[in-house]
Amino acid sequence: MAFKDQLFSIIDQILQQEELLIRCLEAEKNALLLADIPLIQECSGTKQAIIDRLSGLESRRQALIGQLKMRDLVETDTGHLDGDAREELRERWESLRGRVALAVEKNEANQKLLSSSIKHIENMKKNVLGETVPKSNTYSATGGKVAGSNQSGARRISKEV
């Protein structure tokens, strides 16, 4: 297979994987919003598999082009591609860069959503468990009641109870 055909094949496969990654990130966002743990786990596994495939394809691409950079292939006559092929490669490369940027954006949005959810869960846990800063010593270190302790003296985070 000619250099051009091999390179275009690899780029096309990378584009397909990036599209799958974007769809996976969208599904992950929905799973996070629904707090669907099995779906979140499935999305994480799928995302990892896609990333592994992308890593393999990127290794193949780098092995094929050697010391050349993609910029050199699309902007200068390296002798590997004719003018039409360089233009076609430039279009595919720009499409790939756009998809990668979109995937990064979606992944960062999911990360923020996940961080926000974790903070919310931690706050709820503190609320359920009671005190933020104990104002009373109801029990001693050995587990016995402290004389004169007043349980109602503790400050709660929320009065929703």
Angle at CA of residue 27, ends 21 and 28, nearest 5°: 85
pLDDT recorded at residue 134: 56
Angle at CA of residue 89, ends 87 and 91, nearest 5°: 70
pLDDT interval class at 131 (50, 70, 90): low
| pLDDT over 90, % of the chain | 51
pLDDT interval class at 161 (50, 70, 90): very low
Q: Average pLDDT over the chain, rounded to whole?
A: 84
As a whole number of angstroms, the distance between CA 91 and CA 93 comes to 5
HSE value, Cβ hemisphere, 13 Å, CA-based, for 29:
14
CA nearest 12: which of 77, 74, 57? 57
The alpha helices in 2-160, defined as continuous H runs, are: 3-34, 37-65, 70-75, 83-129
Amino acid identity, position 58: E
Q: Is 138 in contact with 145 (CB distance < 8 Å)?
A: yes
- CB proximity list for 86: less than 8 A, separation 6 or greater: 73, 74, 75, 77
The predicted-structure confidence for 103-119, as pLDDT tens digits, reads as follows 999 999 999 998 988 88
The predicted-structure confidence for 35-92, as pLDDT tens digits, reads as follows 899 999 999 999 999 999 999 999 999 999 888 888 778 777 777 888 888 889 889 9
Output the DSSP codes for 2-27.
Answer: -HHHHHHHHHHHHHHHHHHHHHHHHH
pLDDT recorded at residue 126: 79
Rounded to two decimals, the pTM is 0.71
- CB count, 10 Å around CB of 80? 17
The third-level CATH classification (topology) of the domain covering 3-129 is Methane Monooxygenase Hydroxylase; Chain G, domain 1 (1.20.58)
Tokens of 38: 């099995």
